[in-house]
């Protein structure tokens, strides 16, 4: 049978053709021969592949080791590994770069985010040495516009991991399931699985009035071994709506972090950033900081833009 190829985006804007169905024949250095069959996996949204390795029966004793090596190689070389993607597998092109310094948060919160996410990712070897799965669940909650999504953007730009962005819209048409998303994250690990607006998936009822997504999420987040290399970060504006079984059991979300409305120093930082080209910004800074008490970060940014517009 002749092979089938498909084009995949391997870097934003760069496409390669890959064989998605067919067979390959190859010869090892000692002349032994192998056949590799490749076919698409059914029922995984078209992202999975079934690979079968075949040898002559007299020469089959080495197959398990070879298979292990091959599997390892395939895992290391998956074209989505280390990329920033949606749950559909589509690459998210590079947006404007955001760094930790761009987010106005208290030092304490910066520290806690770093410890819970960045440090966990950077210390893979220490987890290994101590025989502990590298795994973490972090729930970020707080009023809208306080920078939770922005934290996701920073992680997507900086973390040494595959970053998978999941919104409820991705799952809405049923082509992609929670189980699929976790399975993809495990294959591409270490991964950050970022659920935006978790309450929409995992409230007591989801937005279709069903509870399937929640049940799936509970079962996928359980279990240490299978989730080695998996960091789940979720955001919500509505902590009350999150099912207690999800947020109150340590094995699922280890850290539940409040992202509050910005304090004066944070509001100043946001105003300064958005007024950095505005002459006379320093003259209005104190008033701006005082007038925006109780505003979210997004609203403070709006104020900065309004100031410039009014002045113009
Ligand atoms: P959330 O996800 O908490 O609703 P976002 O991260 O989407 O909020 O915030 C929207 C925008 O508001 C951000 O892109 C950023 O421009 C601004 N913003 C919000 N919070 C902060 C913050 N703490 N520091 C700097 N900018 C902020």
* pLDDT tens digits, 24-57: 998 989 888 999 999 887 765 556 778 899 998 8
Is pLDDT of 269 > 90? yes
Residue nearest to atom 8 of ligand 1 (CA): 145
DSSP string, 27-80: E-TTS-EEEEEEEEPTTSTT--EEEEEE--GGG-TTHHHHHHHHHHHHHHT-TT
Q: Is 153 in the pocket of ligand 1 (CB under 6 A)?
A: no
CA of 1 to the centre of ligand 1 (A): 53
Give the mean model confidence (pLDDT) for residues 223-232. Answer: 85
**pLDDT digit string, tens, across residues 143-154:** 999 999 999 999
Q: Is 149 in the pocket of ligand 1 (CB under 6 A)?
A: yes
Can you tell me the distance from the alpha carbon of 209 to that of 103, in angstroms, rounded to the nearest whole number?
35
CB-facing half-sphere around the CA of 258: CA atoms within 13 A? 4
CA of 144 to the centre of ligand 1 (A): 8
Q: What pLDDT score does 224 carry?
A: 67
Is pLDDT of 204 > 70? no
Q: Is 105 in the pocket of ligand 1 (CB under 6 A)?
A: yes
pLDDT category at 207 given cuts 50, 70, 90 is: low
Give me the residues paired with residue 24 across strands.
36
Is pLDDT of 209 > 60? no
Q: What pLDDT score does 205 carry?
A: 54
Q: What pLDDT score does 46 carry?
A: 53
Please give the DSSP secondary-structure letter assigned to residue 106. Answer: -
Residue nearest to atom 16 of ligand 1 (CA): 298
Q: Which atom of ligand 1 is nearest to the CA of 151?
A: 6
Structure tokens that stand for 300 in this block: 């403070």
**pLDDT digit string, tens, across residues 60-77:** 888 999 999 988 898 888
CA 31 to chain CA centroid, nearest Å: 43
**pLDDT digit string, tens, across residues 76-89:** 888 889 999 998 88
Give the mean model confidence (pLDDT) for residues 120-130. Answer: 93
CA of 142 to the centre of ligand 1 (A): 11
Q: What pLDDT score does 264 carry?
A: 95
Q: Is 292 in the pocket of ligand 1 (CB under 6 A)?
A: no
Q: Is 184 in the pocket of ligand 1 (CB under 6 A)?
A: no
Q: Give the residue, out of 100, 268, 298, with the most ligand 1 atoms within 8 A of its beta carbon, to mutate for a pocket test.
A: 298
Q: What pLDDT score does 189 carry?
A: 87
Is pLDDT of 206 > 60? no
CA of 265 to the centre of ligand 1 (A): 15
Q: Which atom of ligand 1 is nearest to the CA of 140?
A: 3
Are the beta carbons of 231 and 120 closer than 8 angstroms? yes
Mean pLDDT over all residues of the chain? 88
% of the chain at pLDDT higher than 70: 94
Question: What residues contact residue 28 under an 8 Å CB cut-off, 6+ apart?
Answer: 34
Give the mean model confidence (pLDDT) for residues 107-132. Answer: 93
pLDDT category at 137 given cuts 50, 70, 90 is: very high
Is pLDDT of 173 > 80? no
Q: Is 267 in the pocket of ligand 1 (CB under 6 A)?
A: no
Is pLDDT of 249 > 80? no
Q: What pLDDT score does 210 carry?
A: 56
Can you tell me the distance from the alpha carbon of 113 to that of 212, in angstroms, rounded to the nearest whole number?
30
């Amino acid at each position: 049978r002749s092979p089938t190829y498909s084009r995949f985006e391997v870097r934003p804007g760069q496409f390669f053709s890959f064989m998605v169905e067919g067979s390959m024949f190859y010869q090892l250095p000692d002349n032994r021969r192998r056949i590799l069959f490749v076919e698409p996996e059914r029922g995984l949204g078209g992202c999975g592949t079934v690979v079968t390795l075949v040898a002559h029966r007299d020469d089959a004793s080495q197959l398990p080791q070879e298979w292990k090596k091959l599997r390892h190689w395939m895992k290391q070389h998956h074209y989505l590994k280390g990329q920033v993607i949606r749950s559909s597998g589509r690459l998210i092109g590079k947006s404007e770069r955001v760094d930790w310094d761009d987010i106005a948060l208290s030092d304490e919160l910066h520290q806690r985010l770093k410890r819970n996410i960045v440090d966990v990712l950077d210390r893979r070897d220490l987890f290994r040495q101590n025989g502990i799965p590298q795994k973490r669940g972090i729930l970020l909650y707080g009023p809208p516009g306080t920078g939770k999504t922005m934290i996701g953007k920073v992680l997507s730009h900086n973390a040494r991991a595959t970053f998978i962005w999941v919104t409820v819209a991705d799952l809405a048409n049923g082509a992609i399931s929670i189980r699929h998303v976790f399975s993809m994250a495990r294959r591409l690990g270490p991964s950050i699985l970022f659920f935006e607006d978790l309450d929409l998936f995992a409230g007591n009822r989801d937005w279709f009035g069903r509870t399937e997504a929640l049940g799936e999420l509970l079962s996928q987040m359980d279990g240490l071994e299978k989730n080695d290399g998996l960091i789940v970060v979720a955001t919500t504006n509505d902590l009350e709506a999150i099912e207690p079984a999800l947020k109150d059991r340590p094995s699922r979300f280890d850290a539940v972090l409040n992202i509050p409305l910005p304090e004066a120093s944070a509001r100043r930082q946001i105003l300064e950033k958005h007024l950095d080209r505005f002459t006379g910004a320093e003259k209005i800074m104190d008033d701006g900081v005082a007038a925006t008490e109780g505003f979210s970060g997004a609203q403070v940014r709006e104020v900065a833009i309004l100031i410039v517009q009014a002045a113009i």
